[in-house]
A = this chain, B = another copy of it.
Amino acid sequence: MYIAMNRFKVLKDRTREFESAWFNREIYLHKVPGFIAFHLLRGPEREDHVLYSSHAMWRSYDDFESWTKSEAFRKAHARAGDSKPTTLGHPEFEGFSVIQEVLTDGTVKRAASD
């Protein structure tokens, strides 16, 4: 499993607009092969921003990578330019490979990290 996150530093007085843009977008992700789930996360509040992150769970890195080269990706990212920014700078991407998984029934799965 692979988790793709984009971290956004959202200006404190622009969180409502930032959330609305996500809530009102067209969603294409769920039809993409290898997609498991998407979450929009609201994280800690810091001095000059609130940390948000997108959080997409994929069956594998390859599924994620294929999506980034797809028409669905292009459509999802073809937004009209915002008139006023809601964030400090650009989002910061972090991709993670799941190397151990623990489930409620006590199952422990381990995956090679490379």
Interface pair B27/A106, CB less than 8 Å apart:
yes
Binary contact readout A15-36 vs B (1 if CB under 8 angstroms, 0 otherwise): 1000100110001011100011
Closest to A44 in B: B94
- A43–B96 touching, CB < 8 Å: yes
Q: Do A39 and B95 have beta carbons less than 8 Å apart?
A: no
Other-chain residue from B30, B99, B101, B108 in contact with A104 (beta carbon distance below 8 A)? B30
Total residues of chain A contacting the partner, CB 8 A: 39
Q: Which residues of B contact A110 (CB under 8 A)?
A: 23
Cross-chain contact B41 with A104 (CB below 8 angstroms):
no
Report the bound CA distance from A27 to B40 in whole Å.
28
What is the bound-complex CA distance between A58 and B98, given in angstroms?
17
Could you tell me the distance in whole angstroms from the C-beta of A108 to the nearest C-beta in chain B?
6
Query: Which residue in chain B gives the minimum CB-CB distance to A41?
Result: B96
Please give, as numbers and ranges, the residues of chain B lying within 8 Å of A41 by CB-CB distance.
3, 96-99
Q: Check: A66 CB closer than 8 A to any chain B CB.
A: no
Chain B residue contacts of A83, Cβ below 8 A = none
